[in-house]
């Protein structure tokens, strides 16, 4: 049992990293990785929203959509629920946790339609995860997002200091280096199965 | 009812139901968790320039607005908003306005690549702080501007550029927030009153001969300006002239007498005032 959780969480963080292997959430990945502080703020918000969104969408799928045979409404309903959810989280946070709201606040609205969040909820359903497995997967996906942002903000601060050929300055070199970081994550393929004997 | 109609109505109804439920929930949450806003603070925040430069010493304009809502707060801390902003804040608070003195940043170095030479080839990180850590930087004059642009990065208003190896500050764009003063490892940028017309554009304290060898526009400590100043506003620190701006009467005698042109007009030409200082002079 605990082995399954370990496999899920490490797969989500390293092997199937949402940004670098599945290429989800690239927009925010490139947008906020300019420096470490904003990167960590965004990651914190993503982890929060992924966890809560998974916790809400799993019951919706299994207790509302599946019995009524409305599986095709999945994307629509999930987007609606996630967007509303993030709005509510933001309001609640503003009132009860002002410091946290200050740290995450401006990033929360940005991720209402982040495809990584929608992706993790749909993948939970498609992989036939139980509720607990879904939560673990969401946590892993969030940590994976954090990890890739953390690594890439370091890479970008180095790019800023480097003498880049003029034609590649700005977005081109950022995309090239992002792809190189993604290639390095290919090295994790097969790691989890061998470690935990899945 | 035909089956096809039911197939359409059920999903529509469910979507509507979910949307309605979420809408009601959001309204309830926004009522329950409504944050009372401080009206005075909101007004002050609107009056402030919103540059978030940190020149007042608080974390952005919001931090300063927070401070201003407390009694006895100093309304003169915002250099960017200047006189108008201080007045507006004071009228919101209903207190006497403390008028800030408008200042601009002045780099005290004119040692361009032509005037100075390099002691070694620096290939390290492109930052003044890093370069100054290596024997005080590659320049022949170790007091002067390194030209890697730490100040450019610190300026929130895009007022600073690097030209010919030294920093240039656009007086029209400078708001006098003092962020560049803080980051310069050579401490060569100084905030001066905008009414100042002349300044010693050098901070080299070496004896004259050594200065001359390393920079053709540095202050050599000849004391000609000290003698020529009718107000006694100029004094010597080691072998560097220092002007006391509060005593200056803008007679320009020091500039005309300076053999190396280390003392220079701040606006390029004498007696030509820019609009801002004119309006300030009228107010005074």
- Of the candidates B149, B172, B150, the one whose C-alpha atom is nearest the C-alpha of residue B159 is B172
Q: Distance between alpha carbon B270 and the CA centroid of its chain, in Å?
A: 24
Domain closes at, from B58, B93, B128 = B93
Q: Taken in order B167, B172, B174, B176, is the CA torsion positive or negative?
A: positive
Q: Check CB contact under 8 Å for B15 and A73.
A: yes
**Structure confidence by residue, pLDDT tens digits, B198-215:** 899 999 989 888 998 889
Angstrom distance (rounded) from CA A143 to CA A51: 11
What's the pLDDT score for residue B6?
85
Instruction: Indicate whether A135 pLDDT > 90.
Output: yes
Q: How far apart are the first and last CA of chain A?
A: 11
Q: Check CB contact under 8 Å for B29 and A80.
A: no
Determine, yes or no, domain membership for B11: no
Q: Which domain holds residue A98?
A: 2-189
Q: Domain tally for chain A?
A: 1
Average pLDDT of the segment spanning A12-34: 84
> A34 or A116: whose pLDDT is higher?
A116
Q: Check CB contact under 8 Å for B18 and A94.
A: no
Determine, yes or no, domain membership for A196: no
Instruction: Indicate whether A195 pLDDT > 80.
Output: no
What's the pLDDT score for residue B42?
83
Angstrom distance (rounded) from CA A79 to CA A117: 9
Q: Check CB contact under 8 Å for A96 and B35.
A: no
What's the pLDDT score for residue A137?
93
* Neighboring chain B residues of A96 at a CB cutoff of 8 Å: 33
| CA of A88 vs chain B CAs: smallest distance (Å) | 6
| ipTM given for this complex | 0.72
- Per-residue DSSP letter, B120: S
Average pLDDT of the segment spanning A5-33: 85
Q: Which domain holds residue B195?
A: 103-283
Determine, yes or no, domain membership for A26: yes
Q: Domain tally for chain B?
A: 2
- Same domain membership, residue B193 and residue B83: no
The domain spanning residue B120 has which CATH number? 3.30.70.20
Determine, yes or no, domain membership for B7: no
Determine, yes or no, domain membership for A195: no
Low-confidence residues in chain B, pLDDT < 50? 270-281, 283-284
Determine, yes or no, domain membership for A194: no
Q: Check CB contact under 8 Å for A81 and B22.
A: yes
Determine, yes or no, domain membership for A14: yes
Determine, yes or no, domain membership for A197: no
Q: Side-chain half-sphere of B64: how many Cα atoms within 13 Å?
A: 29
- At CA A92, angle to CA A105 and CA B48, rounded to 5? 45
**Structure confidence by residue, pLDDT tens digits, A87-132:** 888 888 777 777 777 766 667 777 776 788 889 999 999 999 999 9
Q: Check CB contact under 8 Å for A76 and B30.
A: no
* Cβ contacts of A179 within 8 Å, gap of 6 or more: none
Average model confidence (pLDDT) for chain A? 85
Determine, yes or no, domain membership for B227: yes
What's the pLDDT score for residue A10?
87
* Neighboring chain A residues of B25 at a CB cutoff of 8 Å: 84, 88
- Shortest CA distance from B125: residue in chain A: A161
- Same domain membership, residue B45 and residue B169: no
- Same domain membership, residue B168 and residue B56: no
- Same domain membership, residue B109 and residue B78: no
User: For residue B260, which phi and psi values (nearest 5 degrees)?
Assistant: -100, -5
| CA of B88 vs chain A CAs: smallest distance (Å) | 28
Establish if A64 touches chain B: CB-CB under 8 angstroms.
yes
- At CA A112, angle to CA B61 and CA A184, rounded to 5? 95
- Same domain membership, residue B264 and residue B124: yes
| CA of A188 vs chain B CAs: smallest distance (Å) | 33
**Contact status, residue B23 vs residue B16, Cβ threshold 8 Å:** no
- Same domain membership, residue B263 and residue B149: yes
- Same domain membership, residue B178 and residue B81: no
Angstrom distance (rounded) from CA B156 to CA B174: 9
Q: Check CB contact under 8 Å for B33 and A76.
A: no
- Same domain membership, residue B195 and residue B135: yes
What's the pLDDT score for residue B273?
44
Instruction: Indicate whether A143 pLDDT > 90.
Output: yes
Determine, yes or no, domain membership for B216: yes
Best to test chain A binding among B6, B19, B22 (most A CBs inside 10 Å): B22
SS3 state of residue B88: helix
- Shortest CA distance from A71: residue in chain B: B11
Angstrom distance (rounded) from CA B24 to CA B34: 15
Task: Please give, one letter per residue, the 3-state secondary structure of chain A.
Answer: CHHHHHHHHHHHHHHCCCCCCCCCCHHHHHHHCCCHHHHHHHHHHHHHHHHHHHHHHHHHHHHHHCCCCCHHHHHHHHHHHHHHHHHHHHHHHHHHCHHHHHHHHHHCHHHCCCHHHHHHHHHHHHCCCCHHHHHHHHHHHHHHHHHHHHHHHHHHHHHHHCCCCHHHCCHHHHHHHHHHHHHHHHHHCCHHHHHHCC
| CA of B30 vs chain A CAs: smallest distance (Å) | 6
Establish if A69 touches chain B: CB-CB under 8 angstroms.
no
Task: Please tell me which of the candidates B19, B33, B127 has its beta carbon nearest to residue A80.
Answer: B19
- Shortest CA distance from A69: residue in chain B: B11
- Shortest CA distance from A75: residue in chain B: B15
Angstrom distance (rounded) from CA A82 to CA A75: 11
- Same domain membership, residue B45 and residue B134: no
Q: Check CB contact under 8 Å for B126 and A161.
A: yes
**Cα Rg of chain B, angstroms:** 28
What's the pLDDT score for residue A113?
67
* Neighboring chain A residues of B150 at a CB cutoff of 8 Å: none
Establish if A88 touches chain B: CB-CB under 8 angstroms.
yes
Token pair for B124? 């390290």
Confidence at A46, pLDDT banded by 50, 70, 90: confident
Establish if B123 touches chain A: CB-CB under 8 angstroms.
no
| CA of B35 vs chain A CAs: smallest distance (Å) | 6
- Same domain membership, residue B178 and residue B52: no
Q: Check CB contact under 8 Å for B25 and A73.
A: no
Establish if B27 touches chain A: CB-CB under 8 angstroms.
no
- Same domain membership, residue B171 and residue B277: yes
| CA of B123 vs chain A CAs: smallest distance (Å) | 11
Best to test chain A binding among B6, B8, B9, B11 (most A CBs inside 10 Å): B11
Q: Taken in order B40, B41, B42, B46, is the CA torsion positive or negative?
A: positive
Instruction: Indicate whether A41 pLDDT > 70.
Output: yes
- Same domain membership, residue B176 and residue B89: no
* Neighboring chain B residues of A84 at a CB cutoff of 8 Å: 22-23, 25-26
The domain spanning residue B48 has which CATH number? 1.10.15.40
């Amino acid at each position: 049992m605990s082995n399954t959780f370990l496999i899920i969480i490490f797969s989500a963080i390293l092997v199937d990293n949402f940004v670098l292997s599945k290429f989800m959430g690239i927009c925010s990945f490139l947008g906020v990785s300019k420096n470490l502080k904003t990167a960590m703020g965004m990651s914190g918000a993503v982890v929060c929203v992924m966890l809560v969104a998974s916790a809400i969408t799993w019951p919706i799928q299994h207790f509302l959509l599946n019995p009524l045979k409305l599986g095709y409404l999945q994307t629509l309903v999930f987007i609606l629920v996630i967007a509303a959810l993030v709005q509510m989280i933001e309001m609640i946070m503003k009132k009860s946790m002002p410091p946290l709201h200050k740290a995450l606040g401006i990033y929360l609205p940005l991720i209402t339609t982040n495809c990584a969040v929608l992706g993790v909820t749909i993948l939970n359903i498609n992989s036939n995860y139980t509720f607990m497995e879904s939560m673990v997967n969401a946590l892993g996906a969030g940590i994976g997002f954090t990890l890739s942002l953390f690594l890439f903000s370091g890479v970008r601060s180095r790019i800023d200091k480097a003498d880049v050929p003029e034609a590649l300055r700005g977005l081109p070199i950022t995309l090239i280096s992002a792809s190189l970081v993604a290639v390095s994550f290919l090295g994790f393929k097969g790691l989890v199965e061998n470690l935990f004997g899945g | 009812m035909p089956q096809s109609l039911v197939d359409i109505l059920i999903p529509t109804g469910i979507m509507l139901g979910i949307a309605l439920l979420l809408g009601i929930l959001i309204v309830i949450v926004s009522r329950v968790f409504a944050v009372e806003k401080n009206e005075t603070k909101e007004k002050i925040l609107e009056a402030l320039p919103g540059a978030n430069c940190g020149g007042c010493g608080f974390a952005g304009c919001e931090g300063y607005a927070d401070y201003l809502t407390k009694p006895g707060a100093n309304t003169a801390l915002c250099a960017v908003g200047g006189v108008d902003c201080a007045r507006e804040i004071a009228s919101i608070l209903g207190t006497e306005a403390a008028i800030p003195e408008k200042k601009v940043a002045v780099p005290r170095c004119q040692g361009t690549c032509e005037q100075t030479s390099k002691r070694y080839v620096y290939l390290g990180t492109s930052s003044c702080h890093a370069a100054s850590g290596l024997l005080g930087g590659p320049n022949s004059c170790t007091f002067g501007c390194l030209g890697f642009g730490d100040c450019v990065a610190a300026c929130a208003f895009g007022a600073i550029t690097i030209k010919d190896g030294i920093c240039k500050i656009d007086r029209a764009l400078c708001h006098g927030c003092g962020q560049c003063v803080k980051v310069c490892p050579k401490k060569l940028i100084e905030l001066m009153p905008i009414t100042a017309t002349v300044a010693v554009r050098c901070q080299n304290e070496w004896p004259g001969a050594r200065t001359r060898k390393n920079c053709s526009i540095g202050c050599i400590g000849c004391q000609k300006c000290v003698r020529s100043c009718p107000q006694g506003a100029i004094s010597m620190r080691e072998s560097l002239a220092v002007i006391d701006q509060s005593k200056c009467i803008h007679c320009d005698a020091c500039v005309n007498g300076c053999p190396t042109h280390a003392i220079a007009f701040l606006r390029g030409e004498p007696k030509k005032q820019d609009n801002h200082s004119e309006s300030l002079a009228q107010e005074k």
